[in-house]
A = this chain, B = another copy of it.
Amino acid sequence: MAITKLNTYQPLTEQSAISMAVNVGIFEDGSLLTCEEIGDGNLNLVFHVVERDSGKGIIIKQALPYAKVVGESWPLTIERARIEAGALNLQRSFVGDLVPEVYHSDPSLAVTVMEDLSSLTIARAGLINGNKYPRLSDDIGTFLANTLYFTSDYALHPFRKKEYVKEFSNPELCKITEDLVFTDPFFNSETNEFEEELSGDVQQLWDDFTVKLEVAKLKKSFLTEGEALLHGDLHTGSIFVDDQHTKVIDPEFAFYGPIGFDIGQFIANLIFQVIASPGEKEPILHHIENTWNVFSATFSKHWKESGDAYTKVNGYLEYVLEKSFQDSIGFAGCECIRRTIGLAHVDDLESIEDKEQRLKAKRACLNLGKKLIVNRKHILSIEELLTLVRSYSE
């Protein structure tokens, strides 16, 4: 096997991925290695390299210079590989094993070499198959509290925080969210995709200026409020799980934004399960409740360690948590809508085979989404949110 060293960017092949695994010192020269490209191919190549004798594996992820989701016509710089590796390393310093270990990264090749998670399952797929993953909400609640608190102004010296804001400036991937989450689904945009039967519901949404005004405010928050370093794409497809482990992957959308965005996206993706799943809904509802409760309890615990004088002022923590809760609900509402009628759909809904059932579930997501967006300041507790979600899943 010829071992060549790449110096300038080119997409890896299974062969050159093997060479890289040896070159960066993870496997010895002469090891018997197999390699398979396992990515879903939206934005990246993902190689699984395994040493045959020991069974030891690694993942090599490489950003492509375009977004495959709409063909090569959507160019995207490979800068996001630097963001992803940087975010994984920073998150790992706050949450340990809740994110994969990065063994090596090379921004110029857009490559991140990391821990093999192939023994785990993508949470979305596992939940659709009826698994409950008892650790999921404890772990994601902790992930949210630690990553969001420790990158905020409450924890960081302002110089360090402003360095991170620059390091994680992420215009290209933010633009995808700005368009696909906040704008396109609420207007008659070419990127939208929905069954013809939903046309009436969608037209009603586009004509609803109460909803649009509230989405405008939420988009403004996404554009301007640099509260903490977000994962930026925290849906159940970005989480690997089994009954004992939770690993949050793919933070290539990371940037400084409003705390509620990560929380809201995760909650919305659990809501899809509550609405779509034919099985027992209470375990998923429990995950929603527990995610918020673990987040707020853990965030509050960290808050007490802050050196910032204002964190000692009565009512300030409660203000920050209440704002984050309201924001979470609003962002969850946007996610409910965009995953139903926007460009990127979710298997939770799409895999419902019965058409009437599927349309009913999608209408529930649309209507609940609107309700969450418009009523976010009047839903005063996680219990009230659960009651509302239940009422849309019957």
By a beta-carbon cutoff of 8 Å, the part of chain A in contact with chain B is 153, 158-159, 162-163, 165-166, 169, 171-172, 174-175, 178, 183, 187, 209, 212-213, 215-217, 219-220, 223-227, 309-310, 313-316, 319-320
- Closest beta carbon of chain B to A228's beta carbon, Å: 9
Which chain B residue lies CB-closest to A175?
B158
Q: A100 to nearest B CB, angstroms?
A: 28
The answer, among B169, B209, B310, B314, for a CB contact under 8 Å with A165, is: B169
Collect the chain B residues with CB atoms within 8 Å of residue A178's CB: 158
List, in ascending order, chain B residues with CB within 8 A of A227's CB. Answer: 224
| Contact status of A213 and B319, CB under 8 A, knowing A169-B166, A183-B310, A226-B226 | yes
A216-B316, A313-B209, A319-B213 known; A162 and B171 CB under 8 Å?
yes
**In the complex where A165-B169, A169-B165 touch, is A219 in contact with B175 (Cβ < 8 A)?**
no
Smallest beta-carbon distance A251→chain B, Å: 18
Q: How far is the CB of A82 from chain B (nearest CB, A)?
A: 14
A187-B314 contact in complex given A162-B174, A224-B153, C-beta closer than 8 Å: no
Decide: A175 and B159 in contact? CB cutoff 8 A: yes
Residues of chain B lying within 8 A (CB to CB) of residue A183 = 309-310
Q: Which residues of B contact A163 (CB under 8 A)?
A: 171
24 contacts between A and B (CB under 8 A): A153-B224, A158-B174, A158-B175, A158-B178, A158-B223, A165-B165, A165-B169, A183-B309, A183-B310, A209-B313, A209-B314, A212-B313, A213-B316, A213-B319, A215-B310, A216-B310, A216-B313, A216-B319, A217-B316, A219-B310, A224-B225, A224-B226, A224-B227, A225-B225
Given A183-B309, A213-B314, A224-B225; A162-B153 close (CB under 8 Å): no
Known: A153-B220, A216-B310. 8 other contacts (CB 8 A): A158-B174, A162-B169, A162-B174, A165-B165, A166-B166, A209-B313, A212-B313, A225-B226
